[in-house]
Structure 1
Amino acid sequence: MSAPWDAGLQPERAELSWRRTVLSVTAGTVVAARYLGQSHPVLGALLPLAALGGGLLLLRLGAIRFRRLNARLRAVGSQPAEPVMPGAGMLGLLTGMCVLIGVTSVVFIMVTAW
């Protein structure tokens, strides 16, 4: 094997899967934030906007990562000098958005039940 990756479209598939994950988590976070801020108009506007901002940031970081990975892998005869996995910032932001969805869901269920 002369290339450091398979002959298929592995970097493209990975980038598309990241994009789908980010879009679904962003949509869930926006909906959850909207429900959390339903009783307060300022929170109802700010929380979904913050979720959208986080999603856009994640999409941008993913695109940058894909371009870097693709350039490294397509360089003739080169092996990546550093890991090409997503950085901790990207994973941390995605985790934070998932936690926000969970917390918002619990708060919404508790408030609705009372």
Structure 2
Amino acid sequence: MSGPWDAGLQPERAELSWRRTVLAVTAGTVIAARYLGQSHPVFGLLLPLVALVGGLVLLRIGTLRFRRLDARLRAAGSQPSEPVMPGAAMLGLLALMCLLIGVTSTAFIVVTALRQ
């Protein structure tokens, strides 16, 4: 074994699991945004588009993040002298996307309840 991981498979598995997570959150956001925007045609098109673009950005950031991680692990060898994890931009953007889903859904529920 030439590094502190199992021949490159661990970063690949982590990248694939993040991709599945981002795709699931993106699909859920697009569906929710489409549902929330039914009463307003502009929101019905704009919100899913924003969700889709956000998901694509997260996928790109994730791919770059795990490529950097793999390169840093390979460069560090079997005994890294410092942490090799890249930044947390992807995690922060995913959390922001989930927060926006929650806030939008709550606003939709409150507005719908007040109309009745």
Which TM-score tier does this pair reach, normalised by the shorter chain?
A: 0.7 to 0.9
Match of 2:40 in 1: 40
* Unmatched 5+ stretches in structure 2: none
Equivalences for 1:61-80 in 2 at 5 Å? 61-75=61-75, 77=77, 79=80
Equivalences for 1:1-114 in 2 at 5 Å? 3-7=3-7, 9-75=9-75, 77=77, 79=80, 81-85=82-86, 87-113=87-113, 114=116
Cα distance, 1:46 vs structure 2? 0.7
Structure number with the bigger relative contact order (C-alpha 8 A, sep ≥ 6) is 1
Identity of matched residues, %: 75
Distance of aligned partners of 1:29 and 1:80 in 2 relative to their CA distance in 1, 3 Å threshold: farther
* Unmatched 5+ stretches in structure 1: none
The Cα offsets for residues 38-64 of structure 1, whole Å up to 9 and x where unpaired, read as 111111111110000000000000000
Residue pair 1:31, 1:48 contacting (<8 A) in 2 also: yes
Aligned length: 113
Once residues 21 and 80 of structure 1 are traced to their aligned partners in structure 2, the CA distance between those partners, rounded to angstroms, is: 31
